[in-house]
Each structure stands twice: as structure tokens, then as C-alpha cells.
Amino acid sequence: MADPPHFTAIPQILSPTKAYTGAVKVIEAGADEIYCGVRTPGLEEFELYRGASTDIQTYDEFRRVTEHAHKHGVEVFVTINQPFIIDSMEDTMAKHIRNCVEAGADSLIVGDLGMLQLVKKVAPDTKLCASTYLAAMNRESVDFLRRAGFSRVVLERHVPFEQIPEIVGDSGVEVEVFVHGSGCSNVNVNCYFYHYKFPAMDQGYLTIDGVKFPCSLPYEVYDRGDEGAKLGTFPIVDAYTFCSLCKLPDLIRTGVYGLKIEGRGINEEYQASTTRLYRESLDMLQRGDEESFIEKLESIKDTFVPLPQTLPLTNLRELCCEQERCYYAPAFHAPYKERLNWQTWTKLQCKLLLVQP
């Protein structure tokens, strides 16, 4: 019998980190590349993400990260995710970009075309990665970003799976896709919900390392067309964890260059365990053990804890599989526009009562 076919081109795993200790853990767990933010003095809360709490806090610590990563053959990507650039920010951002590059950044992830112009002026020889905030969703947008100077493009989460091979094709850039972490009900570039704060968030039930996710909180929902009837209370904008393990063989076949794990704001144990899960899965597929991988999936679904917290949906099967919460679900490519189904939301509430002090 002939040997099973091997996957010859295995994508890179990009893992998140927000500290030197976390970087050490994800590299040990098998990350090929890591990505992070670095605190920008004077602009700590002005970012297209969750603020300074998700960033490496000093340039000295960031230098330690790059030195350790390079020693292990791992490249470091830095997010330059300010939503726009204005004259009063330019000097601060130019200094920040320069400090990151001098400390060893291999590539800069840019989420705004105005910021791109500053980056090219300050660090013309540094590799550029187009953030998902630039909303690349088709061949034309990827080609535009290539011509703008990007060597890598992160596809928007809502791109249908069947379109990925066509986009990768002869794009002339490295194409990166999300495989694990929070989903989103919006196209990233159109959502600023992360930056909207209101008192009820302080009572939010979902907390990870002190970071509250407003799009995961339960809201009272009313029907405007039926005299304002209340429909219930549930997380209508819903950004829970999504997974792509079942689609790994197909993702490899698309030719994508990188598989990105979301979660800069989550703790180090989650970052490392998720990295290890995808590393072991990719290694198994590279050896040609696709049948064994498929068999092992069932065990993984029941044993892998998807979030390092008290959220009582305790494994991938409950949190992802039962909800069809796959980044690349075949029937509907953006299932995270749907809220948790009624049965699971009820299960979640019952379990929450059991863990209340």
C-alpha cells in the first residue's frame, strides 16, 4: 500500500503575547511567529483593540521578547493599530515605530492607510502586514494592498472559505487567516464597540484577565415592530470563541501562509495551550496522519478547555461544536452573526448559578 500523502507546505502558526513570559511560553509551545502590541507612551488607550492592557509595557521588555524569539528562529510582528493618524500624533508615533524597529521588530501590522504612509517614511525597509482592519475580502483588495507595499495580508474573518484559494492564488503576498479565538458580528473595520464604555459593563459576567468584552455581554432585546415587546436577554452581538480544528486539512490545501490565533488580551496559559493544540495538530497532518488526526479530534473536543476562566461551557464541543462556531462553517460562513442557541444559553445560565459564590 502506498504511503499516505504528506502536506508539503504547512502554514506558520502566529501566536499572541502581551509579555516576555508569555512569549517564552508560546514559543516553547510551538509558535512559528508571535505578534504583540507595545505600549505607546502618550497614546496608551488610543488603539484599534483593547488598550494598553494587551500590550508589552516597555521597549526594554519588548527587546527581551525579540532577542528570545530570534534565538529560537521566531519572527516578531508588532501591531501599529491606531485607527487614524493626525498631525498631533505624528511625532509620537514616529518615535514609537522607530523604537519598535530598533528593538528588533521583524514586521509591522498596520491597520490604517494614513499610518501606512508614516510607517513607510520612518521604517522603509521593514516588512509590512495588512491588518484585518483594512478589510481585505477579495482578490482586488489584496492586490491593492500588495501594490501599497504590504508583503502579507490578514483576511477579514467574514471571507467565505471557498474564496480563500482564489484569493491566495497568484496574489503575490503571504495570506494569513484567523483560526481560533473570538469571532465578531461585524466587519472589523466597521466596529468601534471595543471603545464604547458604559456603567453596566462593570457588572459584566464575562471577564478575562480584567478585560471585559462588551460584545459578549447579555443585553435586553426588544421588538420595535410589536409595541416594544421584550424578546429576552441574551448576548445578541455575541463574540465567543471560534475554532478551526476540523478545517485544518482543508485550510492547508488552500495555500495560506499563516494561521492566526486571536487573544492578545487573554492569559498566558490560554495562549500557550492553544498554540500547542494547533502545533500538535499541524505536525500530525504534516506526517501524513490525517485519519489519526480526524480520530483524535473527537477526544480533543471533549478535553480541551477553550477559555481559562469560570465560563461554564467547559470544552470545545459545548462552546464551539454544538454551536457550529467554526470560522469556516460550510453552511454559513459567518455563523457568529447568530446568538447562542436557546438551549445552550439556558445551560450557561444554570451553570453560572452553580459557580456563584
CA 76 – CA 62 distance, rounded (Å): 10
Which band of pLDDT confidence, cut at 50, 70 and 90, is reported for residue 46? Answer: low
> Mean pLDDT over residues 54-68, rounded?
95
Q: Which pLDDT tens digit goes with each residue over 74-113?
A: 999 999 987 788 898 999 999 999 999 999 999 999 999 9
> Mean pLDDT over residues 192-213, rounded?
54
**How remote is the C-alpha of 192 from its chain's centroid?**
16
Contact assessment for residue 329 and residue 338, using Cβ atoms and an 8 Å cutoff: no
CA 181 – CA 263 distance, rounded (Å): 6
Which candidate, 46, 248, 290, places its Cα nearest to that of 161? 248
Residue 339 has pLDDT above 70, yes or no: no
Q: Which pLDDT tens digit goes with each residue over 295-337?
A: 888 888 888 876 654 455 578 877 777 767 777 765 434 343 4
SS (H, E, C) 6-55: CCCCCCEEEEECCCHHHHHHHHHHCCCEEEEEECCCCCCCCCCCCCHHHE
- Most confident listed range (36-50, 127-141, 283-297): 127-141
Contact assessment for residue 274 and residue 267, using Cβ atoms and an 8 Å cutoff: no
Q: Is the pTM of this model over 0.85?
A: no
Q: Which amino acid is at 244?
A: S
Which band of pLDDT confidence, cut at 50, 70 and 90, is reported for residue 182? Answer: confident
> What does CATH list as the number for 12-187+198-206+239-355?
3.20.20.380
Residue 328: what pLDDT?
A: 74
Q: Which pLDDT tens digit goes with each residue over 206-230?
A: 444 444 566 666 677 787 776 778 8
Contact assessment for residue 174 and residue 257, using Cβ atoms and an 8 Å cutoff: yes
CA 32 – CA 275 distance, rounded (Å): 10
Domain boundaries, the chain: 12-187+198-206+239-355
